[in-house]
Structure 1
Amino acid sequence: MVRLTLAQMRRSIGRLSAAGIAILIGTAFLTATLLAGTVINRITTDSIAAQFADSDLVVANGAGIDEAGLEEIRGTEGVEAADPQVMRAFELVSGSKRTYQVVVPTASDPRFEAQEVVEGAMPARSGEIALPSDVAERFGLALGDTVTVVRSVWTPSAEGAAPEAGAPTEEGAPSEDATAPADTATTPDEAAASAGEGGDAAPADEPAPDEEAPAGTFVDTNEKLTLVGTLDDPMGAYAQVGGAGVLSNEDLTVWEAESFVPGDSATSYNAVLVALAPGTDLEAVRSTVTGSLGGDTKVWTSAEYAKDQAAQMTGGEDVFTYVILTFAAIALLVAALVIANTFQVLVAQRTRTLALLRCVGADRKQLARSVLLEAVILGLVASVAGILFGIGLVQLALTVAGSMDLGIPLPSVVQVTAVAVLVPLLVGTVVTLVASFSPARAATRVAPLAALRPSDAPTLSSGAGRVRLAISSILVVGGAGLLVLGVLLGQQGSAEAGLLAATAGGAASFVGVLVGAIFWLPKVVSLVGKVLTGSGSTAKLAAANTLRNPRRTAATSTALLIGVTLVAMMSTGAVSARMSMNNELDGRYPVDVSLATDGYDEYGGNQPVELPQSTIATAEKVDGVESVVPLTATSVTVPLDGNDITFLARGVDPGAATALSRDKKAVEGLAPGTVVVPAGVAESWDISTGDQLVLTAAPLPEDANPEGTPATLEALVTPMGGRALLVTPQTLEGVATGAPVTTAWVGLADVNDAASVVPALQDALADSDLPIDVTGAAVERAMYQKVVDTILGVIVGLLAVAVVIALIGVANTLSLSVIERRRESATLRAIGLSRSQLRWMLAIEGMLIAGVGAVLGILLGILYGWAGASAALAVMGDVTLAVPWRDVALVLVVALVAGLLASVIPGRSAARTSPVEALAVD
């Protein structure tokens, strides 16, 4: 039987090619996923280990290592040097450019230095800084230039003075509005944590509850530093935080001490790098340090610590690999449908051969083993080819990425693991074997007498059992119920429970649709064919052919249905999320973009800096900008809860503000005698619409006695974002005479162009003498659009693999149909059907199968996308459901064109066959 099986495979090599290609793509995808996961894990581990440079040991303690512990380590016999691992983040300013820059102290030993000097040198004294080369280039800095570092210094309140907005109250708790800005009220520890570092210094202890915290606030202080060196990070030690600058130990130590609230404990460190003297026994030092520090102290080599930190970052799980494996599983599922379809037809094609084998003594088990052996051989060969192809793809990706200088340590050669080879080989073979079970059973049911019957066109049973129908109905109905429940839970604020229920319901209902496809999908294809193809004989034959073998039609169209449904679902969910996000941003911000010189001082308290008219004129000339409206501003005090609270008040023309605002409610009612209060401020200070607020010009550092008259205004609470109060320019001029223009609101001609207009606006203002804060809905919209589009592009690209495999199945189905219907095609040719009509009949058949599968997939995808968006996004507010018409149209066109192209080779094969030759076939 083995020789017979191999002989049959050689005769059917053309028919097996499509199934082999399907499994090849699936296993290549799986192999590439596993190898990519290995590469990413290695990059992550190497990047973390790079922070430790050439240190011999890393001492870590969850409770932190204090100064005494650090000295204990340094005093251990054999330890030549020990540095705490410290990482901080400060605002870096040069002209109009600013960024948050992570910095580390100079190393006491060259073995602790992870970066290399490109130009200049490392800081050797106070007042010096070294920066990554790309940061220096972006800021236009050369060696010897001055750069400003903004740091937070704890400043006690004057005795008896009322606390400023956001400053701690007499009881030591922050005031209700929490009005210290996020950038000025953030300690260095918190800033470093926000920059992505989780292992530098442990947070300082908070005062005990019964202790009275000192009154005061964090105040920004500018430090002028000289650039003495530019740096390169060859191993990507700080790639996760965008690169690190280097400060002198002296500066960083002083700055850190001044950033603590009096009474806080001294800084402790989570990790200390250790360099050993030559010839020192590493294990002996490890044992000594562990014993002397005690507690939860662990002493690792740098490689061991890097692996531990990488595991903590991912929760001990390779999340990336698991996510991509999901898409690989989808591709293999679609491949299994194509393979099962192929083997079903192969068995049907060999009906007379199998019957003859039964006549000469072959039993049922031998026939079944023959089909299964054929599947195993096909699975092994295609899987091996897929593994080689997948390895080649990853190697090509590494080669291309390595030439792009991405700033991360990329391996030059792909590291092939046993798992990356054995798992795809096993999965590919098993999937092919499982897909052949049903055809193998069909082979055992061939009667010996079938060999004596005329050779009609093979057909397969089109019936489907009641059990399948019952299972399908239960899954569809139950899944739909869970889907509705998930949407309702999401709308009630239970986002996680809603998403879980919607996901389970969507999966169950989709499986039900697939299981029951045999009952309805072929009839839909035939009905659509009859409706769209008219009365032409060729079109009628094509529509009728789709019902000739319902199982094959259902399997082929279902394979495409899976891929298209998932693509449409992700696209619909993404566009709905984007629309909902845009609506939310429109509610939070009154305008698209805000240009301000006081963007970091919305709490008031600092001298307003006037926005130059030249800056406004420059903004007006940027392509995509429709209008620019200037706003005056000054700091005012408002008596609330017994204290004078300082706010920033802005003056804007009501008509211009209304015309520019995306959300008219944000500035609704602004008029002389009123003050618009943002909803967040109103909630913090218990302000309601109709309340009377008294605005008084606040004393500023450079203007102790401001001119103006206090004004009593009626409060209007609106959904406007931010913390600044809004009044008319005339009202503000009365409160504070000569209030300067510090802000300009910018309206875009098309808000959907935010991703291109905002960067152009930022570039146009880059040469301004003053730092201009560019904020607003369009800025966030541009950022989120880029993130959403990138994620969507990756996901759709992965799912496209399943669609490609499904389209291979369409071509396979048509090819097998041509072989099956050789005599029928010859008869049609004999009675007058031309070659072009025969080719057109197959083209219509292919487009019907692909088109119906695509349309149904699009409809299901939109439904599931809407349900998922409603369940997941309802917690953020009203969800806007949208349809990605462009993506939908593209998928449909691709499916129809692919169906047409899939018919080309089968059509040519059918047209080339002579009618006499075809009729001569047994």
Structure 2
Amino acid sequence: MLRITLAQMRRSAGRLAAAGVAIVIGTAFVAATLLASGVITRMTYDSVAAQYGDADLVVGATQDAPLDVDALAATDGVAAVAPVTAIYAELTDGARSVYQSVVPTADDRLMPLEVTAGAMPSAAGEIALPADVADRLGVTLGDTVDVGRDVVGDDGSWRQVTETPAVVGLLDDPFGAYARTGGAAVVDAATYTTWQTEARGEPVAVTEAAVVVADGTDVTAAQSALAGTVGGATSTDSAPWVVTTDERAAESAAELTGGQDLMFLVFVLTFAAVALVVAGLVITNTFQVLVAQRARTLALLRCVGADKAQVGRSVLTEAAILGLVASVAGVLLGTALGQTALWVAHALDVPVPLPGAVALTWQVVVVPVLVGTVVTVGAALVPARVATRVAPLAALRPADSPSTSRRAGKVRLVLSLLTAAVGFGLLAAGAALGTVWQEPTLGLLAGIAGGALSFVGVAVGAVFWLPRVAAAAGRLVAASGPTARLAAANTLRNPRRTATTSTALLIGVTLVAMMTTGAASARTSLTAALDEQFPVDVMVTSTASDADGEQEALSGELRADVAAVDGVRATTDVSEILVRATSGAGSAATWLPLTAIDPAGGAEVLNAPDVLADLEPGTVLLGEVQAQDLALGTGDSVELTDTDGAVTVTVAVGASGDTSYLTTDDLAALSSDASVTGMYLALDDGVDAASAVGAIQDVVADSGESAQVTGVASQRALFDQVIDTMLGIVVGLLAVAVVIALIGVANTLSLSVIERRRESATLRAIGLSKAQLRGMLAIEGLLIAGVGAVLGVVLGLVYGWAGAGAALGIMGDVSLSVPWLEITLVLVVALVAGLVASVAPARTALKASPVEALATE
């Protein structure tokens, strides 16, 4: 039977090729998805962990029990240790000055900065600067730069001293480790320790350090040894702790995304499963027609002694061979596509850290091959069962296709309705769990289960309703002539064939619409999360102090110059003050830092303007941290006291964060000489954040005033780029799903034409012209594709919105977006695909003369 099966496969190679291509693309989708998951994870971790360089481990502790860096370095298996720390200093050359973060030199693997010219500092009196900072100051290699820093005396008084190190190197920050501060200058470790200690008046506690393991040393063994040194654990559940860099990055990424960093992988793997269902439909149709065409061959085999089991096994063996070969080809294709995508990204110099090559794991190879083979064999089960029913007497008469006359049963109708109802109920429950009850894990599980069940119900029941919908749409075009009426009638004459053909595209379009809708909603929700994480694009803060240690004001001229910088959309002035807060009679006063801001001006510059919704005269808006420290809640009263006066205000607790706000009106009542010590700036949409921050730094540097520019917009832009790249990878995978859907439409329509060859010949014999036959098939293809596409878009919107609600609810309010451009494009492509899919079948139907076609079995 094996030799007979292989011979039959060779004779049917053309028809099996279409089914094989569907499996190749389906398994390539799965392989590419798994590879993309690895790339996305690696990219996200590298972005978050950039500050640790190429460290193997990260050690953490608390301020009360800090780390002993020397003890860490002396631990067995440790090659290098570097504290994760930074200080700030004012860099000046002539009339230009820049407030810049400064970090110490470290082992090459622990330094995230790259030298673009010169070298790293190796002794006192040397400094390396970010290349853009050197340009801003107008210095080059070999020049000196004034470094102003604070020194605290033994009596607690402080003074500012100036160093004049020589510039020995220019630096680049390729992964954005110090994007928030516009890069970092570097001095040698001994100089850094001296500056840091003198700025605090005492040695500074080290609470986090990056560690490189010696060559040949097992990382796990070194981790255990370090845990013994610090007396901690190998997880961050309690301090001190020792974890791998990836574990630390995963924890930081989870803090940023609300623990939803796996949602893209879950989404796309779900889509890959749906794409394989499309491939399964193509395979089922292929084998059904092959079994029908081989009816006489199968009957002859029964006549010469083959039993039912052997006949059924021959069909399943054929499917297994096809599935295995196509799945292996799919893994190779998916790997090639993944690697090509990385090469293209590197060639385009995508500004996010990407690995140089895809990581081939056993899951990437085994899972797609196993899934592809199982799907192929599973799709052939029904045709194999049909093959076992072929009687030996069928060898003496022609056999019709098994799908042309069977009618769908009531049991199928009831089951499809129940499955769809339960599925949509679970889908709604998943969305509610994610948005209302803030249970994203349960919500996502319920959503996936509900989506799968409801779609199975829709697909299984499609034979009952989809042909009628297509026929109703056909009546809209039937008035154009007899060809259109024949096409519309054909959609009802064989409901199984119509349902199968349209369902293939229905699944594909649903997949695309669901992903684009989910991606659009996710993008909107993640943007809102970033707005909360980075509430202000740029901050300019005075760093000068008067003789009494009070922070000096920013001049009106500087504020006007900053506001005039290209790319700055709006600005508002702020004042930073420190007041005493008393929550009630007999309670102790607590120092409370406040930011005085005009609520209307703040609403214009804050990325999340609702933060100031409760701020009004007579109210202090406390951050959650301050409210907890003061044991205050919304509606409580608190007395604020400064040197010039006191005011009693009502407490409102902010949604999140640790910044507390007061109105400028209440500030005037507290302090008669309060000055503007800072500015909040909002940048224009679409402006290059790094360039805009650089221009603001140039203005500040030229002013001669001591001020710090904090460009959080640059770091926010980096995260935006990471998100955009992740969504770009997902959208790229959608192209694979579209190809699957188009192959499904073309293949099933081709098979239906083969089944109707006699019918087409009869129409030709009674006068239907070749052009009219082509037109009939084209209209039929357009009707079936159009109906499948429109219904797919509707289902895709429902699934995309429900999935976004289930997965993204924990991040805040979910905006349910409609990607109009993508949906319109999908509909146009579907209609064109339906038209194109009719071309090859029409050519097949017209090859033979009507007499020859009527003579064919």
Query: Does structure 2 conserve the Cα–Cα contact (< 8 Å) formed by 1:582 and 1:781?
Result: no
| Residue pairs, 1:118-129, within 5 angstroms | 119-129=117-127
Aligned partner (choices 195, 211, 228) of residue 168 of structure 2: 228
1:868 paired residue number: 803
Q: 2:596 aligns with which of 631, 635, 649?
A: 649
Instruction: Please tell me whether the aligned partners of residues 128 and 226 of structure 1 are also in contact (alpha carbons under 8 angstroms).
Output: yes
Give, as a single letter, the amino acid of the residue that structure 1 aligns with 2:552.
Q
Which residue identity is paired with 2:189? Answer: N
Distance in 2 between residues matched to 1:586 and 1:269, nearest whole Å: 29
Q: Please say if residues 650 and 732 of structure 1, whose CA atoms lie closer than 8 Å, have aligned partners that are also in contact.
A: no
Task: Name the structure 2 match of 1:251.
Answer: 191
Matched, 1:905 2:840: yes
Match of 1:482 in 2: 426
For the pair 1:769 / 2:700, whether they are aligned, the reply is yes
Partner of 1:88: 85
TM-score, scaled to structure 1: 0.70
1:522 pairs with 442, 467, 487, which one? 467
**What does 1:678-827 correspond to in 2, within 5 Å?**
678=621, 680=623, 723-727=660-664, 736=672, 739=675, 743=679, 754-756=685-687, 761-762=692-693, 764-770=695-701, 773=709, 788-827=723-762
Indicate yes or no: 2:309 matched with 1:365. yes
Instruction: Give ranges in structure 2 of 5+ residues lacking alignment.
Output: 235-241, 252-260, 584-588, 702-706
Counterpart among 253, 274, 292 of residue 348 in structure 1: 292
Change (3 A) 1:60 1:914: same
CA distance in 2, matches of 1:282, 1:613: 55
Change (3 A) 1:519 1:147: farther
Q: CA deviation at 1:441?
A: 0.8
Q: 1:573 to 1:374 in 2, by over 3 A?
A: closer
What is the CA–CA distance in structure 2 between the aligned matches of 1:508 and 1:399, rounded to whole Å?
39
How far 1:713 moved relative to its partner? 9.3
Question: What pairs up with 1:288-437 in 2 under 5 angstroms?
Answer: 310=246, 327-359=271-303, 361-397=305-341, 399-400=343-344, 421=365, 424-437=368-381
| Contact residue 82 and residue 106 of structure 2 kept, 8 A | no
Q: Distance in 1 between matches of 2:524 and 2:357?
A: 43
Structure 1, unmatched stretches of 5+, are 160-217, 299-305, 699-709, 749-753
User: Secondary structure of 2:799's partner?
Assistant: helix
Q: Matched residues, percent identical?
A: 47
Letter in 1 for 2:798: L
Residue 143 of structure 1 is aligned with which of 101, 120, 141? 141
Q: Which whole-Å CA distance do the structure 2 matches of 1:266 and 1:595 have between them? A: 27
TM-score by length of 2: 0.75
Q: 1:353 to 1:230 in 2, by over 3 A?
A: same
1:107-146, Cα deviation, whole Å (9 max, x unpaired): 5xx9999998653333222353346778867997632456
Q: Which residue of 1 aligns with 2:554?
A: 609
Q: Post-superposition shift, 1:260?
A: 7.8
- Of 523, 543, 553, the residue aligned with 2:488 is 543
CA distance in 2, matches of 1:417, 1:104: 38
Letter aligned with residue 828 of structure 2: V
Number of residue pairs aligned between Structure 1 and Structure 2? 812
8 Å Cα contact 2:478-2:484 kept in structure 1: yes
Match of 1:571 among 516, 520, 539: 516
Which residue identity does 1:373 align to in structure 2?
Answer: T
Provide the rounded CA distance (Å) in 1 between the counterparts of 2:490 and 2:205.
82
Could you report, residue by residue, the CA deviation over 1:474-497 in whole angstroms, capped at 9, with x for unpaired residues?
433333333333344445443334
Offset at residue 346 of structure 1 (A): 1.9
CA distance in 2, matches of 1:65, 1:858: 57
SS in 2 for 1:143: coil
> Using the alignment, how far apart are the partners of 2:57 and 2:97 within structure 1?
40
AA matched with 1:536: G
Q: What is aligned with 1:186?
A: none
Mapped partners of 1:268, 1:720: distance in 2: 29
Q: CA-to-partner distance for each residue in 1:848-881, whole Å, 9 max, x for gaps?
A: 3322222222222222333334444555555443
Q: Distance in 1 between matches of 2:437 and 2:544?
A: 33
Conserved in 2, the CA contact under 8 Å of 1:86 and 1:105?
A: no
What is the identity, as a one-letter code, of the residue corresponding to 2:779? I
- Tell me: CA distance 1:488–1:311, structure 2 relative to 1, closer, same or farther (3 Å): closer
Match of 1:888 in 2: 823
Point out the more displaced range, 506-515 or 630-639: 630-639
Which residue identity lines up with residue 143 of structure 1 in the other structure? L
Letter in 2 for 1:26: G
Aligned-residue Cα RMSD (Å) equals: 5.9
CA 1:347–1:864: 2 relative to 1, 3 Å: same
SS of corresponding position for 1:546? helix
C-alpha deviation, 1:440, in angstroms: 1.0
CA distance in 1, matches of 2:527, 2:610: 16
- Report if aligned partners of 1:755, 1:782 keep a CA contact under 8 Å in 2: no
In the aligned structure 2, how far is the partner of 1:658 from the partner of 1:330?
Answer: 45
| Mapped partners of 2:51, 2:564: distance in 1 | 43
After superposition, give the CA deviation of every residue in 1:464-483 in whole Å (9 maximum; x if it has no partner): 45554454344333333333
8 Å contact kept, 1:578–1:785: no
Q: Where is the helix percentage greater, Structure 1 or Structure 2?
A: 2
Structure 1 counterpart SS, 2:140: coil
Q: 1:669 to 1:411 in 2, by over 3 A?
A: closer
On the 8 A contact 1:340/1:439 being kept in 2, the answer is yes
Q: Is the 8 A contact 1:70 1:272 kept in 2?
A: no
- Would the aligned equivalents of 2:579 and 2:594 in 1 still touch at CA under 8 Å? yes
User: Cα offset for 1:839?
Assistant: 1.8
Cα 1:396/1:292, change in 2 over 3 Å: closer
C-alpha distance in 2 between matches for 1:38 and 1:661: 35
Task: Describe the SS at the equivalent of 2:553.
Answer: coil
Q: Do the aligned partners of 1:60 and 1:272 also contact (CA within 8 Å) in 2?
A: no
Q: Is the 8 A contact 2:126 2:187 kept in 1?
A: yes
Q: 1:489 to 1:838 in 2, by over 3 A?
A: same
Q: Do structure 1's residue 553 and structure 2's residue 498 form an aligned pair?
A: yes
Per the TM alignment, residue 902 of structure 1 is displaced from its structure 2 partner at its CA by 1.7
Contact 2:52 2:210 in 1 (8 A): no
Out of 810, 824, 833, the residue aligned to residue 768 of structure 2 is: 833
Residues 571, 887 of structure 1: 8 Å contact kept: yes
Matches of 1:154 and 1:872, distance apart in 2: 50
Contact 1:695 1:735 in 2 (8 A): no
The answer as to 2:774 corresponding to 1:843 is no
CA distance in 1, matches of 2:673, 2:831: 70
